[in-house]
Structure 1
Amino acid sequence: MNEPPIDPDNFFKTACKFEAALILVAIVLGWIAAINPFEFIIFDEQAIINGITGTLPLCLIFIALNQLKLKSLQKIRRVLHQTLGPSLYKHHWTDLFVLAAIAGISEEILFRGVIQPWIENAWGMMAGLLVSSVIFGLVHAVTALYFVMATAVSIYLGLYLDYDNTRNLLTPIIIHSLYDFFAFVIILHSYRLEQQKAK
């Protein structure tokens, strides 16, 4: 059995700290760009509903892609399985929710709260959406296909930033957090089944 590429015992705390630190990055970049990263986090019922319903297509796509036998997709599954499986194996579902929430909040504040509007201010809305999404894809580029998939997800999240022609960062935060939580649960469930079969 391959050794996990990162220390499973330290992964959860390290991941939480790293993701939370992205908020500090957003604050610094926001200060440089004269953008308030938190300006468009508006708590309202419609944003929550949009966030929940906006998560469903991503979850269905995740399930569908999980069924395909393409080598490129199998490589992504193997990397995620080997990285996240051992690292989250001993954790409760509430831990997965906390990690997903921190990742969703911090990454959306950085990418949709600062980077996208920063580029929009310089080059327009379409450039803001596309360039911020490519950057998002690059920092998630486990493989070339994963880069494309992460970029596509980022475009989806960026479009939801202005859903109903009302800018609200809460909607992509909810979608991102719930989708990550769903993915964590599926990956961990698959890993645990594999461990049981191996016994």
Structure 2
Amino acid sequence: MTSWAESFTHAATWQLKTELAYWKAKAKSLEYENEVLHNVIRENSMQFKHSAGKRASESEDEDEHNVEETYEDAYADEQTYPDEQEVYKTEDNDDLEVSEEFVNFLRENAKYREDARQERERYKAKEAKENIVEEIEAGPSKPKDKTEELKELYGDNWMKIAAIENYVQSNFINESDICQPMYWPNIPFNFNFS
């Protein structure tokens, strides 16, 4: 194997290993974040179920006016969030503080992403519609006449220059067929041997 091929193989192997390590680390961090968010959601749903069950038993004993107030209280509790510095335990017994600001940030971030996705879809649909209209209005395109193009470029001597271009092109094709050159590598040389 040539030194170029060895260097290329070494670089490609290194790149694959680096990408694999990066995505493994990314997956672990997302797994941990997912676990924390599940704990937050679980705690919030338990608090809501407990408060809703408590209100349901109390509302049976009260009159109609108090029932309406209980409904308003239950509705207000639907939007309660964990205390400012509530601490949740993970499986590794590490303490993690999740503030209300962080939970609100995650909600706003999700809303922003959804809005951005919908905006992109609207933009793509609008752009596709405009492209279709432009194609319909434009009609079929005329095939370009090579002689007219050459006359515009070269003026009165267009025949002479076109003949020279054809000669050079056919000569290049003949030489390529005879020599059958190899393709040049698509990576740059590194002449720094330090």
What range describes the TM-score normalised by the shorter chain of this pair?
A: under 0.3
Higher helix share: 1
TM-score between the two structures when normalised by the length of structure 2: 0.25
Greater share of strand: 2
TM-score normalized with structure 1 length: 0.24
By relative contact order (CA 8 Å, sep 6+), the higher-ranking structure is 1
Q: Which has the larger radius of gyration?
A: 2
